[in-house]
Structure 1
Amino acid sequence: MNETTNAAGAAGPDREPLQGEPAPDTSMAKLAEELATTKDRLLRSLAEQENARELARRQREDAVRYAASAFARDLLATADNLERAIASAPEDLRSEPAVAPLIAGVEATRRALLDAFAKHGLHRLDPIGEPFDPHRHQASFEVADSQYEPGAVAQVIQPGYMHHERLLRPALVGVSKHAAPPSAPRET
């Protein structure tokens, strides 16, 4: 038997490759390249899976945190109506025995509703005097009011609400503008 051939007839390190068999250096380079490509694909797949898990976790947390948003938005009209009911009672009748307990009950109901809102991450926006912010306020009109800087909220028609850090409803406001100077009489 030849020294460079083993018992099965396989080529040893000193032998020429058989016909159709790649050279040892070429096949090692090709295998290393395939291994690097496969490793890169595997790392990319693992990164994509981790990103998908992180996205799903964040979406799940947001779904739990903001699950009550639609329900709370529906209750805002109730809070507004309770405030209107309190405001509609004439001051001179509030002390009468028939009206006082009714007003006290409506005020207690309003406080309980606002406490429940606060417990679940809802808070009211009463932006009087704050600079107008189009992301949190909806301007309904401009008013000349020397008490506030131009561009500041001068009146609140309807309060806004935030649910955690998301806007649930913008505050409906009137914005202060420069007072118009008195007009000079026209000469004709």
Structure 2
Amino acid sequence: MTADPKQKPEEAETSELAPDDTVPGATDKAAPRDDEAQAIDEAPVIDDATIEALELNEAEAGAAFASPREAELAAQIADLKDQLVRALAETENLRNRARREKAEALKYAAAPLAKDLLSVADNLKRALAAVPADAVEENAALKTLLTGVEMTDKSLGDAFAKHGIVPIDPVGEKLDPHRHEAMIEIDDASKPAGTVAQVYELGWLLGERLLRPARVAVSKGGPKAAGPGGAEGGEAPEPGSTVDTKA
């Protein structure tokens, strides 16, 4: 093979090497690259959980070293949240109170009208009581009139009952100052003292609210009325009935 006169001696010498020939020292220079690749392959793999833990630690560390301004803002946010919760609770309480007041207003809306009609009911009952039984049998017209008054009284009673208006007829009961108004005392040895012996006017209730107390005569003869425990001579119950007297 004839060498190119322009080719440098070193290049000509290198080009004459066979393909299988190796340059001395080439193996020693390639070794570091193999070790580096092996080290990269054997490097530990960081999973997602580890990354999240590292990020969380970093966030906590950042919070620990937060500036005073950030701490002040966090305190203001907490205070505003507390105020919001309190405002919501107060608003809900107001709603509940408004619902209760509305329900009571609807329930007792008929109280003024019912009070005005009580005298009508009283007059109807007086009219019925004033008619002698024998006169009814002798007079057909009077009997018809009495029947009409009885039907009117019954219709009025049904209307009262429909709206929760009920009478108080306490004959034989112990006097209750919250529901009964004692007009007089009468001698009646057959009843314990302090017992209602006679009713002059019926009392009336609208739900739990007192429209009018029953006007009664109280017995003052005989033994003392039984107390709350059932023994004679017991003390009268303490005032505090659940009857609403605001009507």
TM-score (norm 2): 0.60
Q: Which of residues 194, 197, 210 in structure 2 aligns to 1:151?
A: 194
Matched, 1:178 2:221: yes
**Structure 2 unaligned spans of 5+:** 1-64, 224-247
* Alignment partners' CA distance in 2, 1:161 and 1:28: 68
Structure 2 match to 1:62: 104
Runs of 4+ aligned structure 1 residues displaced above 6 Å come to none
Alpha-carbon distance in 2 for matches of 1:69, 1:61? 14
Equivalent position to 1:126, from 163, 169, 185 = 169
Provide structure 1 residue ranges, at least 5 long, that are not aligned to the other structure: 1-22, 181-188
Determine if the alignment matches structure 1 residue 73 to structure 2 residue 115. yes
Structure 1 counterpart of 2:182: 139
Equivalent positions of 1:3-152 (< 5 A) are 24-95=66-137, 96-152=139-195
Displacement of 1:158 after TM fit? 0.2
Paired amino acid for 1:68: A
Deviates further, 107-116 or 170-179: 170-179
Match of 2:212 in 1: 169
SS of the counterpart of 2:103? Answer: helix
Q: CA deviation at 1:25?
A: 4.5
How many residue pairs are counted as aligned between the two chains?
158
- In structure 2, how many angstroms separate the alpha carbons of the residues matched to 1:54 and 1:113? 35
TM-superposed deviation, 1:26: 3.0
The superposition leaves residues 27-48 of structure 1 with CA deviations (integer Å, 9 ceiling, x where unpaired) of: 3432333223212211111111
1:123-162, Cα deviation, whole Å (9 max, x unpaired): 1110111111111111111222222222221111100111
Q: Deviation at 1:179? A: 4.7
The residue type equivalent to 2:109 in the other structure is A
Which structure has the bigger radius of gyration? 2
Structure 2 CA distance for aligned equivalents of residues 145 and 90 of structure 1: 27
Answer whether contact 2:192 2:222 (CA < 8 A) is retained. no
Distance 1:73 1:165 in 2: 15
The structure in which a higher percent of residues are helix is: 2
Superposition CA RMSD, Å: 1.8
Moved more, 137-146 or 159-168: 137-146
Tell me how far 1:115 sits from its aligned partner: 0.9
Identity in percent: 49
TM-score of the two chains, using structure 1 as the length reference = 0.77
In 1: Cα distance, 2:83 partner to 2:143 partner: 75
Letter in 1 for 2:147: A
Matched residue, 1:9:
none
Secondary structure of residue in 2 paired with 1:72: helix
Larger relative CO (CA 8 A, sep 6+): 1 or 2?
A: 1
